[in-house]
Amino acid sequence: GQQLNQSPQSMFIQEGEDVSMNCTSSSIFNTWLWYKQEPGEGPVLLIALYKAGELTSNGRLTAQFGITRKDSFLNISASIPSDVGIYFCAGLIWNQGGKLIFGQGTELSVKP
Amino acid sequence: DAGITQSPRYKITETGRQVTLMCHQTWSHSYMFWYRQDLGHGLRLIYYSAAADITDKGEVPDGYVVSRSKTENFPLTLESATRSQTSVYFCASSSLDWTNNNEQFFGPGTRLTVL
Protein backbone atom coordinates (compact mmCIF):
# COMPACT_ATOMS: atom_id res chain seq x y z
CA GLY A 1 0.00 0.00 0.00
CA GLN A 2 0.94 3.65 -0.08
CA GLN A 3 3.46 4.86 2.44
CA LEU A 4 4.66 8.26 3.49
CA ASN A 5 8.23 8.70 4.62
CA GLN A 6 8.44 11.59 7.04
CA SER A 7 11.74 13.02 8.19
CA PRO A 8 13.33 13.74 10.47
CA GLN A 9 11.80 11.54 13.16
CA SER A 10 12.79 14.00 15.85
CA MET A 11 14.38 17.40 16.20
CA PHE A 12 15.94 19.20 19.15
CA ILE A 13 16.36 22.88 18.45
CA GLN A 14 16.99 26.16 20.20
CA GLU A 15 14.25 28.74 20.51
CA GLY A 16 14.40 31.14 17.58
CA GLU A 17 15.73 28.62 15.09
CA ASP A 18 13.92 27.70 11.90
CA VAL A 19 12.64 24.14 11.41
CA SER A 20 12.09 22.13 8.27
CA MET A 21 10.49 18.70 7.89
CA ASN A 22 9.26 16.82 4.85
CA CYS A 23 7.29 13.88 3.59
CA THR A 24 7.95 11.85 0.48
CA SER A 25 6.15 9.01 -1.22
CA SER A 26 6.24 6.91 -4.34
CA SER A 27 2.53 7.64 -4.79
CA ILE A 28 0.87 10.75 -6.19
CA PHE A 29 -1.46 12.59 -3.82
CA ASN A 30 -4.31 15.01 -4.52
CA THR A 31 -4.21 16.71 -1.12
CA TRP A 32 -1.53 17.18 1.51
CA LEU A 33 -2.41 18.00 5.10
CA TRP A 34 -0.13 18.95 7.97
CA TYR A 35 -1.19 18.33 11.59
CA LYS A 36 0.26 19.07 15.00
CA GLN A 37 -0.41 16.86 18.00
CA GLU A 38 0.28 17.84 21.59
CA PRO A 39 0.40 15.33 24.46
CA GLY A 40 -3.03 14.00 25.39
CA GLU A 41 -4.77 15.73 22.49
CA GLY A 42 -5.95 14.87 19.02
CA PRO A 43 -4.13 16.07 15.89
CA VAL A 44 -4.96 19.65 14.96
CA LEU A 45 -4.95 20.70 11.32
CA LEU A 46 -2.33 23.33 10.51
CA ILE A 47 -2.27 23.65 6.75
CA ALA A 48 -4.09 22.06 3.79
CA LEU A 49 -2.60 21.97 0.28
CA TYR A 50 -4.58 21.16 -2.85
CA LYS A 51 -2.50 22.02 -5.92
CA ALA A 52 0.93 20.94 -7.08
CA GLY A 53 3.39 23.72 -6.38
CA GLU A 54 1.06 25.45 -3.93
CA LEU A 55 2.80 27.34 -1.14
CA THR A 56 0.62 28.20 1.86
CA SER A 57 1.39 29.99 5.10
CA ASN A 58 -0.28 29.99 8.48
CA GLY A 59 1.52 32.48 10.72
CA ARG A 60 5.08 31.25 11.16
CA LEU A 61 4.28 28.01 9.35
CA THR A 62 4.76 27.53 5.63
CA ALA A 63 4.03 24.36 3.68
CA GLN A 64 4.40 23.42 0.05
CA PHE A 65 2.79 20.82 -2.19
CA GLY A 66 5.60 19.34 -4.28
CA ILE A 67 5.52 19.78 -8.05
CA THR A 68 5.62 16.01 -8.59
CA ARG A 69 2.68 15.64 -6.12
CA LYS A 70 4.75 13.00 -4.30
CA ASP A 71 6.15 15.20 -1.57
CA SER A 72 5.49 18.09 0.76
CA PHE A 73 7.45 20.10 3.29
CA LEU A 74 6.62 22.15 6.36
CA ASN A 75 8.77 25.00 7.65
CA ILE A 76 8.44 26.72 11.01
CA SER A 77 10.24 30.01 11.33
CA ALA A 78 11.58 31.50 14.56
CA SER A 79 10.48 28.57 16.73
CA ILE A 80 9.06 29.17 20.19
CA PRO A 81 8.56 26.76 23.12
CA SER A 82 4.86 26.26 22.33
CA ASP A 83 5.82 24.75 18.97
CA VAL A 84 6.72 21.57 20.85
CA GLY A 85 4.72 18.58 19.70
CA ILE A 86 4.52 15.92 17.03
CA TYR A 87 3.94 17.07 13.46
CA PHE A 88 2.29 14.72 11.01
CA CYS A 89 1.93 14.92 7.28
CA ALA A 90 -0.99 13.19 5.62
CA GLY A 91 -1.81 12.58 1.98
CA LEU A 92 -5.14 11.91 0.37
CA ILE A 93 -5.84 10.16 -2.92
CA TRP A 94 -9.28 10.78 -4.38
CA ASN A 95 -9.91 7.24 -5.55
CA GLN A 96 -9.11 5.81 -2.11
CA GLY A 97 -12.46 6.64 -0.55
CA GLY A 98 -11.27 9.64 1.39
CA LYS A 99 -8.69 7.76 3.41
CA LEU A 100 -5.64 9.65 4.60
CA ILE A 101 -2.17 8.13 4.57
CA PHE A 102 -0.14 9.42 7.52
CA GLY A 103 3.56 9.90 7.94
CA GLN A 104 5.17 8.58 11.11
CA GLY A 105 5.52 12.05 12.62
CA THR A 106 8.31 14.44 13.52
CA GLU A 107 8.73 15.08 17.23
CA LEU A 108 9.87 18.64 17.83
CA SER A 109 11.54 19.77 21.02
CA VAL A 110 12.38 23.45 21.54
CA LYS A 111 14.88 24.54 24.15
CA PRO A 112 14.19 28.00 25.59
CA ASP B 1 -20.85 21.95 21.80
CA ALA B 2 -19.80 22.43 18.22
CA GLY B 3 -17.16 20.21 16.67
CA ILE B 4 -16.26 16.60 17.23
CA THR B 5 -16.41 14.93 20.62
CA GLN B 6 -15.48 11.51 21.93
CA SER B 7 -16.57 9.65 25.02
CA PRO B 8 -15.35 8.38 27.30
CA ARG B 9 -11.97 10.11 27.33
CA TYR B 10 -10.48 7.30 29.44
CA LYS B 11 -11.58 3.69 29.82
CA ILE B 12 -10.16 0.70 31.63
CA THR B 13 -11.68 -2.68 30.88
CA GLU B 14 -10.87 -6.35 31.14
CA THR B 15 -10.03 -8.87 28.49
CA GLY B 16 -13.13 -10.33 26.89
CA ARG B 17 -15.48 -7.48 27.73
CA GLN B 18 -17.39 -5.51 25.14
CA VAL B 19 -16.53 -1.83 24.94
CA THR B 20 -18.11 0.91 22.85
CA LEU B 21 -16.39 4.18 22.11
CA MET B 22 -18.61 7.05 21.05
CA CYS B 23 -17.97 9.75 18.49
CA HIS B 24 -20.27 12.69 17.74
CA GLN B 25 -19.83 15.56 15.28
CA THR B 26 -21.97 18.62 14.79
CA TRP B 27 -20.78 19.68 11.32
CA SER B 28 -22.96 17.22 9.37
CA HIS B 29 -19.82 15.91 7.71
CA SER B 30 -20.54 12.95 5.49
CA TYR B 31 -17.28 11.12 6.19
CA MET B 32 -16.20 9.79 9.57
CA PHE B 33 -13.14 7.78 10.54
CA TRP B 34 -11.73 5.76 13.43
CA TYR B 35 -7.98 5.55 14.01
CA ARG B 36 -5.81 3.99 16.65
CA GLN B 37 -2.49 5.45 17.66
CA ASP B 38 0.28 3.33 19.11
CA LEU B 39 3.93 4.06 19.71
CA GLY B 40 5.91 3.08 16.65
CA HIS B 41 2.87 2.81 14.40
CA GLY B 42 1.55 6.32 14.10
CA LEU B 43 -2.11 6.66 13.17
CA ARG B 44 -3.74 3.60 11.65
CA LEU B 45 -7.20 3.59 10.14
CA ILE B 46 -9.62 1.06 11.65
CA TYR B 47 -12.90 1.80 9.87
CA TYR B 48 -14.46 4.65 7.99
CA SER B 49 -17.86 5.71 6.78
CA ALA B 50 -18.80 7.73 3.72
CA ALA B 51 -22.38 8.35 4.86
CA ALA B 52 -25.05 6.96 7.14
CA ASP B 53 -25.35 3.19 6.73
CA ILE B 54 -22.17 3.03 4.63
CA THR B 55 -19.03 1.72 6.33
CA ASP B 56 -15.81 0.16 5.11
CA LYS B 57 -12.71 -1.43 6.57
CA GLY B 58 -9.47 0.39 7.00
CA GLU B 59 -5.99 -0.92 7.64
CA VAL B 60 -6.61 -2.69 10.98
CA PRO B 61 -10.32 -3.65 11.29
CA ASP B 62 -10.04 -7.05 13.01
CA GLY B 63 -11.74 -7.15 16.41
CA TYR B 64 -13.76 -3.98 15.81
CA VAL B 65 -17.30 -3.28 14.70
CA VAL B 66 -18.81 0.04 13.62
CA SER B 67 -22.23 1.35 12.77
CA ARG B 68 -23.55 4.61 11.37
CA SER B 69 -27.30 4.91 11.77
CA LYS B 70 -27.12 8.72 12.01
CA THR B 71 -24.80 11.07 10.18
CA GLU B 72 -23.54 12.67 13.37
CA ASN B 73 -22.63 9.51 15.29
CA PHE B 74 -20.06 6.82 14.56
CA PRO B 75 -19.62 4.39 17.49
CA LEU B 76 -16.75 1.90 17.56
CA THR B 77 -17.30 -1.38 19.40
CA LEU B 78 -14.70 -3.84 20.59
CA GLU B 79 -16.78 -7.00 20.80
CA SER B 80 -14.32 -8.92 23.00
CA ALA B 81 -11.49 -6.68 24.08
CA THR B 82 -7.91 -7.97 23.97
CA ARG B 83 -4.75 -6.52 25.49
CA SER B 84 -3.46 -5.72 22.01
CA GLN B 85 -6.34 -3.26 21.69
CA THR B 86 -4.90 -1.07 24.43
CA SER B 87 -4.36 2.16 22.54
CA VAL B 88 -5.48 5.72 22.02
CA TYR B 89 -8.45 5.93 19.68
CA PHE B 90 -9.23 8.97 17.58
CA CYS B 91 -12.36 9.76 15.67
CA ALA B 92 -12.26 12.17 12.74
CA SER B 93 -14.72 13.68 10.29
CA SER B 94 -14.54 15.35 6.90
CA SER B 95 -16.85 16.86 4.34
CA LEU B 96 -14.64 15.63 1.47
CA ASP B 97 -16.06 17.51 -1.50
CA TRP B 98 -13.03 16.39 -3.57
CA THR B 99 -12.11 19.88 -4.65
CA ASN B 100 -10.68 22.13 -1.96
CA ASN B 101 -12.36 20.91 1.17
CA ASN B 102 -10.74 17.61 2.09
CA GLU B 103 -9.61 18.41 5.61
CA GLN B 104 -10.13 15.83 8.35
CA PHE B 105 -10.81 17.11 11.85
CA PHE B 106 -9.98 14.99 14.86
CA GLY B 107 -11.61 14.47 18.20
CA PRO B 108 -9.67 14.62 21.49
CA GLY B 109 -9.19 10.85 21.68
CA THR B 110 -10.12 8.00 24.02
CA ARG B 111 -7.35 6.29 25.94
CA LEU B 112 -8.35 2.63 26.35
CA THR B 113 -6.55 0.19 28.59
CA VAL B 114 -7.41 -3.51 28.43
CA LEU B 115 -6.21 -5.47 31.45
DSSP secondary structure of B39-106: TTTEEEEEEEEEETTEEEE-SS-TTEEE--SSTTB--EEESS--GGG-EEEEEEEE---SSS---EEE
Cβ–Cβ under 8 Å, residues A78 and A60: yes
Is A45 in contact with B105 (Cβ distance < 8 A)?
yes
Query: Which pLDDT tens digits describe chain A residue by residue (112 residues)?
Result: 567 899 999 999 999 999 999 999 999 999 999 999 998 899 999 999 999 999 999 999 999 999 999 999 999 999 999 999 999 999 988 777 778 889 999 999 999 8
Closest residue by Cα to residue A3 from A94, A105, A102: A102
- The B-side interface with A (CB below 8 A) comprises 31, 33, 42-43, 45, 48, 50, 56, 58-59, 90, 92, 94, 96, 98-100, 102-109
| Residue A40 φ/ψ region, left for φ over 0, alpha for ψ in the -120 to 50 degree band, beta for the rest | left
Element (H, E) at A39: none
Residue B82 distance to chain A (closest CA, Å)? 23
